[in-house]
Amino acid sequence: MSRNLVVTEFHMSVLFDPSILPGCSSDLEKSIIPGTRLYPISEGYRAGLGCYEIHGFVFSSLTGYTYVYDSNDADGNDIKVVEIRKKFNEKHRIVPVADAIVTARVEAIGPKSARCSIICVENNMLNHEFNSTLRREDIRPNERGVDLLKCVQPGDFILSRVLGHGDAQSGFLISIIEDELGVILAQSGDERLIPYTSELVRSPTSNYTEPRKVALVPNMNS
Amino acid sequence: MINEEQCVVNCQYSMATFSVPDRRNKPRGDRRGNEFTRLLERAFESAILVKNYPRSQIDIFCEVLEADGGNLAACVNAASLALADAGIPMRGLVTAVECGSVTGEACADLSSREHSDIVSRLTVATVGGKDEICMLDLKNIIHKDHVPQLIKMAMDANAQIHSCLESAVLIHMKKCYALSKRC
């Protein structure tokens, strides 16, 4: 019966933590349940995480406390974004999305792909890991038949980009084709190896090196 | 079933074998149980903001421990509280009540001893305690002149149930989540 209702939900970028903004003013205000009418849109309020807009008003969709902060919309006008939070500095749930840079740990190498666990999305550590797959053709540009074991090894930490969803067995699909993506910390036996050149990782204590597809992270400090 | 645009709501309605005076042999799988399962799915699909969770599934499993009439309504209310506690975004708390029409007179919240084949029973679920009905289930036949009064009785009862659920959620929330300012 109510399937014809059109609901527009304002999708905040999940990677944006607004509490660091200088314009963030109020503390957590009233406690509310889903479906509570909050503020009118005409007075400059917009729906953030946990709210939705309908009939010219911002309604809540979660239980928690309202939290209002200042922001600018697409046209540059001042708006007040209403969010529902349970704690003041709550970290929002982060899920890997397409085109996001993620940090993953390589769990196992197969014949044509590597199984990895995504542990961070951009700057946020996740509460639990997501399964993902790094295919052989997504490692080096223009090379489809690379030797997987010379590029990544189990235990390595890689910086990669999410291509999208795979099926239930493979989880997310990730790629390290770009120069800035690849192995950032490698493991050999008990030892941690650090990046040395674009093709080698080296032990910090000895001269022992191993081949990897190393991430050329641009050096911002020099 | 993977739906690319929205999440799938999967419900299960099950009655414990000890929930009724005459012991049941099958907790689930009978026709009425399957019917309640589908009704729960449709009700919550319209209340949950399903567009937020593409390619995902939300499972709602209800187990009736003691049945005394209004089983479907009780499951709807319990599931609303569970979803609010779990942090699933909804358009409002879904409340339900089972009302009966006895010779034209509407009665709210029948017990199982008041069930009979000549009394028509209507389970109505609304969103947010307001006038938006998201589920209707009628058992037995009712004269069309008696329907408006029955629905009005159900809406009033739903508004009261909604305020009960609302205060329960707020009390529970304050107990569970310590409000820490600027920590």
Residue A13 is predicted with a pLDDT of: 32
Distances (CA, A) of A209 to A107, A146, A202, B106: 21, 19, 4, 83
User: Average pLDDT, stretch B145-174?
Assistant: 93
How many Cβ atoms sit within 10 Å of the Cβ of residue A93? 11
Mean pLDDT, residues B80-99? 94
CB contact under 8 A, B87 and A63: yes
Phi and psi torsions of B137, nearest 5°: -140, 120
Do A9-21+95-211 and A31-85 share a fold? yes
Q: Is residue B163 very low, low, confident or very high in pLDDT (cuts 50, 70, 90)?
A: very high
Amino acid at B80: S
∠ CA A117-A123-A129, nearest 5°, is 20
Residues of chain A contacting residue B128, judged by C-beta atoms under 8 Å apart: 34-35
What's the pLDDT at A90?
A: 67
Helical pair B31-47 and B71-86, crossing angle rounded to 10 deg: 40
Angle, alpha carbons B49-B53-B57 (nearest 5°): 100
Report chain B residues whose CB lies below 8 A from the CB of A33.
84, 92-93, 165-166, 169-170
pLDDT in tens, B73-87: 999 999 999 999 988
pLDDT of residue A89: 65
Q: Which of A17-26, B48-57, B70-79, B165-174 has the lowest mean pLDDT?
A: A17-26
Q: Nearest C-alpha of chain B: how many angstroms from A195?
A: 38
Rounded CA separation A49/A62 (Å): 9
Is residue B27 packed enough to be buried (19+ CB in 10 Å), middle (13-18) or exposed (0-12)? Answer: middle
CA nearest to A152, candidates A164, A140, A170: A140
In angstroms, the Cα distances linking A28 to A16, A19, A44, A54, A119 are: 18, 12, 19, 23, 30
Report the pLDDT value the prediction gives residue B52, as an integer from 0 to 100.
84
Q: B96: part of which helix (H) or strand (E)?
A: strand B94-102
Question: What string of DSSP letters covers A117-184?
Answer: EEEEETTEEEEEEEEEEEEGGGTBTTBSS--GGGT--TT-EEEEEEEEE--TTT-EEEE--STT-EEE
Cβ-based interface (< 8 Å): residues of B facing A: 46-47, 49, 51-52, 55, 84-85, 87, 89-93, 127-128, 132-134, 165-166, 169-170, 173-174, 177-183
User: pTM for this structure?
Assistant: 0.72
What residues contact residue B43 under an 8 Å CB cut-off, 6+ apart? Answer: B76, B94, B96, B125, B134, B135
The one-letter amino acid at A134: L
The Cα A211–Cα A205 span in angstroms is 17
Closest among B9, B68, B87, B67 to B41, alpha carbons compared: B9
Give me the residue spans of the domains in chain A. Answer: 9-21+95-211, 31-85
Task: Name the helix (H) or strand (E) containing B176.
Answer: helix B147-176
How many C-beta neighbours within 10 Å does residue B146 have?
17
CB count in 10 Å sphere of residue B17: 10
* Band of residue B180 on the pLDDT scale cut at 50, 70, 90: very low
For B114, other C-beta atoms within 10 Å of its C-beta total: 14
Q: Spell out the CATH class of A31-85.
A: mainly beta
Q: With beta carbons under 8 A apart, name residues in chain A contacting B51.
A: 7, 9
Whether the pLDDT of residue B154 is over 80: the answer is yes
Q: What is the pLDDT along chain A (222 residues), one digit of tens a residue?
A: 444 444 433 333 333 344 443 334 445 667 889 999 999 999 889 998 889 999 999 999 999 888 888 888 778 788 899 988 877 666 666 778 888 899 999 999 999 899 999 999 888 888 889 999 999 998 988 877 788 899 999 999 999 999 988 777 888 999 999 999 999 999 888 889 988 888 888 998 888 999 999 998 887 665
Does the CB of A50 have a partner CB in chain B at under 8 Å?
A: yes
Question: What DSSP designation does B52 have?
Answer: G
Can you tell me which residue has the tokens 């009233």?
A: A30
- Say what the ipTM of the complex is: 0.83
- Those of residues 76-115 in A touching chain B at CB distance below 8 A are 86-89
Domains and CATH numbers, chain B: 8-182 (3.30.230.70)
Architecture of domain A9-21+95-211: Beta Barrel (2.40)
